[in-house]
């Protein structure tokens, strides 16, 4: 009997759950036992989960199912291609075969459901034991007797879509940054660093000049971090990932404040941690009125608390009183806190305070930040963490044995960003504030009152009870891409990003209104 490991990527749950059920039915029909099922937030997270299952002696094969239906065709293509490549690599690197069926790219919810229905049909050829969710073999199906999909397959599919009056459906995304490029001085610093030959390895934790600049910036926020407390990473996400894996063992409790950025859950699960969630939705996404709930959730058994302020996805900036409450609980229960402050320079009606600046928190706080948001340097991939030296020692081990170091010339561009582009940042923040005001005003005109975001560039719109259906309708009918609140553990909402021009935002809202979605 074949023992199967199943990975379920849950991003589009209404589709994926049916895919998972179809996979289980197909396995049962063929006498295949599912030894272990791992659920991850999205398909991006599936390769690492598949690799972990493929390493197990009690698993003979691994199957992955997931749905990439964001409404942004280009984005879906990137996700599909990257995931396919990663899963193919896992399949080639391990003795255990890895197969996968992922809907997309750019499929509508109806098309994804159609694939689920087809996945319930008996598979052919009978000699192939795995077939799920595809009328033809999924891209990259490995070692199961089927060829890869070819360019000709893709052309035939597109011709068929055009014949049905379809074709590639493009949504008007409200989430692409428009008119806010990375500062020219940063670009020039990067070009000059390359010209000067700064293209080799650096010390793993980062060049001294950048760590000193980060230390100076943190001290200006009353965070007592020396250069030796800093680890420079390729993106703030890497800093979060390394921190979670340095701190969390199997079964350790981690508390998230919901709505929470989607990658937190994935990181904790990959580290083996258990999640406890505190819902801020009943308090207009503010932490201060939810402190009693946090106190009920936290105990001496809690290993880690993740705090994101300003918040993605809500734009909330937690008050000093709320952060002081976090400090009191963390000290009482001896809990380490990760302060994700990636949006700290993008605020409007509030001045954020760094959690590590509170008395008693410097030795128990990991401050995470980066350059993607405040300096519009998304593709440069540069971030950092600041932590007590004992934790830095442990994080550095993961860092050096995984990514080695952040790119040399990118670090030097980061020095320039910290030193000379605050005027550019102020201009960007003012543009975001105007867009925030536009979003709030338009929603109020349509009878929707929302908590006024104080930072970042996101807003949560109340939807029907089924937020996934609402976001499906938004992309299918209005051609506007949003993210269901369920992805952030906040059902009944949809997240929009106002990192787009005012003209584009107005057009998006007009489309939503025309379809009765506002």
**CATH, residue 101:** 3.40.50.960
**Same domain (yes/no): 415, 427:** no
**Same domain (yes/no): 304, 381:** yes
Element (H, E) at 145: none
- pLDDT at position 16 is 79
Q: Collapsing DSSP states into helix, strand and coil, what is residue 101?
A: strand
**Same domain (yes/no): 415, 428:** no
Alpha helices in 336-493 (DSSP H): 389-400, 408-420, 422-445, 467-477
130: in domain: no
**Same domain (yes/no): 49, 61:** yes
* Residue where the block lists tokens 């560039």: 457
Q: Which of 77, 94, 120 is the last residue of a domain?
A: 120
**Same domain (yes/no): 505, 460:** yes
> In which domain, by residue range, is 510 found?
423-515
- CA 387/CA 399 separation, integer angstroms: 14
Q: Which of 88, 120, 152 is the last residue of a domain?
A: 120
Residue 261 in tokens:
């950025």
pLDDT tens by residue, the chain, 518 residues: 778 889 988 877 777 788 888 888 888 888 888 989 988 887 778 888 888 888 888 888 888 888 776 555 555 666 777 777 778 777 777 777 877 776 554 444 455 455 444 443 333 322 232 233 333 333 333 333 333 333 333 334 344 444 434 443 344 445 444 445 678 999 999 999 999 999 999 999 999 999 999 999 999 999 999 999 999 999 999 999 999 999 999 999 999 999 999 999 999 999 999 999 999 999 999 999 999 999 999 999 999 999 999 999 999 999 999 999 999 999 999 999 999 999 999 999 899 999 999 999 999 999 999 999 999 999 999 999 999 999 999 999 999 999 999 999 999 999 999 998 888 899 999 999 999 999 999 999 999 999 999 999 999 999 988 999 999 999 999 999 999 999 999 999 999 999 888 999 999 999 999 999 99
**Same domain (yes/no): 473, 404:** no
Q: Tell me the per-residue pLDDT of 436-492, one tens digit each, with 9 for 90 and over.
A: 999 999 999 999 999 999 999 999 999 988 999 999 999 999 999 999 999 999 999
Count of domains observed in the chain: 3
- pLDDT at position 151 is 33
- pLDDT at position 181 is 67
Residue 371 in tokens:
């350059």
Does the pTM surpass 0.75? The reply is no
- pLDDT at position 263 is 95
Q: Tell me the per-residue pLDDT of 234-257, one tens digit each, with 9 for 90 and over.
A: 999 999 999 999 999 999 999 999
166: in domain: no
Under 8 Å between Cβ of 227 and 215: yes
406: in domain: yes
**Same domain (yes/no): 397, 464:** no
**Same domain (yes/no): 348, 255:** yes
Could you tell me the CATH number of the domain that includes residue 490? 3.90.1150.10
61: in domain: yes
- CA 176/CA 75 separation, integer angstroms: 11
**Same domain (yes/no): 413, 473:** no
**Same domain (yes/no): 276, 406:** yes
**Same domain (yes/no): 207, 109:** no
Bridge partners, 462 (sequence order):
493
Under 8 Å between Cβ of 211 and 392: no
503: in domain: yes
Under 8 Å between Cβ of 337 and 364: yes
Q: Which of 79, 100, 120 is the last residue of a domain?
A: 120
- CA 303/CA 364 separation, integer angstroms: 11
- pLDDT at position 73 is 56
- CA 221/CA 435 separation, integer angstroms: 27
- CA 318/CA 336 separation, integer angstroms: 18
- CA 459/CA 308 separation, integer angstroms: 15
Sequence-separated (6 or more) residues with CB below 8 Å from residue 204: 396, 399, 400, 404, 405
> What torsion, rounded to 10 degrees, do the Cα atoms 390, 393, 397, 402 define?
100
The DSSP-derived string for 27-71 is: HHHTT-EEEEEEEESSGGGHHHHHHHHHT-TT-SEEEEEEE---S
Output the CA angle 78-172-448, nearest 5 degrees: 125
- CA 301/CA 285 separation, integer angstroms: 26
- CA 78/CA 98 separation, integer angstroms: 20
**Same domain (yes/no): 245, 308:** yes
Burial degree of 130 (CB within 10 A; 0-12, 13-18, 19+): buried
- CA 352/CA 354 separation, integer angstroms: 7
């Amino acid at each position: 009997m074949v023992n199967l490991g199943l990975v379920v990527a849950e991003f589009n749950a209404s589709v994926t759950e049916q895919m998972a059920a179809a996979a289980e039915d197909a396995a049962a029909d063929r006498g295949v036992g599912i030894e272990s099922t791992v659920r991850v937030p999205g398909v991006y997270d599936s390769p690492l989960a598949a690799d972990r299952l493929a390493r197990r002696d009690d698993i003979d094969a691994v199957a992955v199912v997931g749905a990439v239906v964001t409404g942004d065709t280009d984005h879906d293509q990137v996700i599909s291609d990257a995931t396919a490549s990663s899963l193919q690599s896992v399949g080639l690197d391990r003795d255990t075969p890895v197969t996968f069926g992922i809907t997309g790219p750019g499929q509508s919810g109806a098309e994804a459901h159609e694939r689920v229905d087809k996945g319930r049909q008996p598979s052919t050829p009978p000699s192939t034991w795995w077939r799920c969710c595809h009328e033809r073999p999924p891209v990259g199906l490995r070692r199961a007797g089927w060829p890869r999909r070819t360019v000709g397959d893709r052309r035939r599919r597109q011709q068929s879509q055009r014949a049905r009056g379809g074709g590639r459906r493009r949504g008007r995304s409200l989430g692409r940054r428009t008119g806010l490029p990375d500062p020219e001085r940063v670009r020039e610093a990067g070009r000059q660093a390359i010209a000067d030959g700064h293209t080799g390895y650096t010390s793993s934790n980062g060049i001294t000049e950048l760590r000193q600049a980060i230390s100076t910036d943190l001290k200006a926020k009353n965070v007592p971090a020396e250069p030796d407390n800093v680890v420079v990473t390729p993106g703030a996400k890497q800093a979060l990932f390394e921190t979670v894996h340095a701190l969390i063992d199997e079964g350790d409790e981690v508390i998230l404040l919901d709505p929470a950025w989607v990658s937190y859950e994935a990181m904790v699960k990959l580290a083996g941690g258990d999640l406890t969630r505190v819902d801020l939705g009943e308090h207009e996404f503010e932490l201060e009125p939810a402190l009693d709930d946090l106190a009920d959730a936290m105990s001496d058994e809690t290993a880690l608390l993740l705090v994101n302020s300003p918040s993605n996805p809500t734009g909330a900036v937690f008050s000093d009183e709320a952060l002081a409450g976090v400090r009191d609980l963390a000290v009482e229960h001896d809990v380490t806190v990760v302060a994700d402050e990636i949006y700290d320079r993008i605020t409007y009606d509030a001045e954020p305070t760094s959690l590590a600046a509170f008395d008693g928190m410097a030795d128990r706080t990991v401050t995470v930040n980066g350059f993607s948001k405040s300096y519009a340097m998304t593709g440069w991939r540069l971030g950092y963490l600041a932590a007590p030296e004992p934790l830095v020692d442990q994080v550095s081990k993961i860092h050096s044995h995984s990514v080695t170091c952040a790119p040399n010339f990118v670090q030097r561009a980061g020095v320039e960003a910290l030193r000379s582009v605050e005027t550019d940042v102020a201009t960007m923040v003012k543009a975001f504030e105007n867009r925030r005001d536009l979003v709030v005003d338009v929603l109020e005109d349509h009878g929707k009152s929302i908590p006024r975001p104080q930072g970042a560039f996101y807003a949560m719109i109340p939807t029907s009870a089924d937020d996934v259906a609402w976001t499906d309708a938004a992309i299918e009918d209005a051609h506007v891409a949003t993210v269901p609140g369920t992805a952030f553990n906040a059902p009944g909402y949809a997240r929009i990003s106002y990192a787009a021009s005012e003209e584009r935002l107005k057009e998006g809202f007009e489309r939503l209104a025309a379809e009765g979605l506002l």
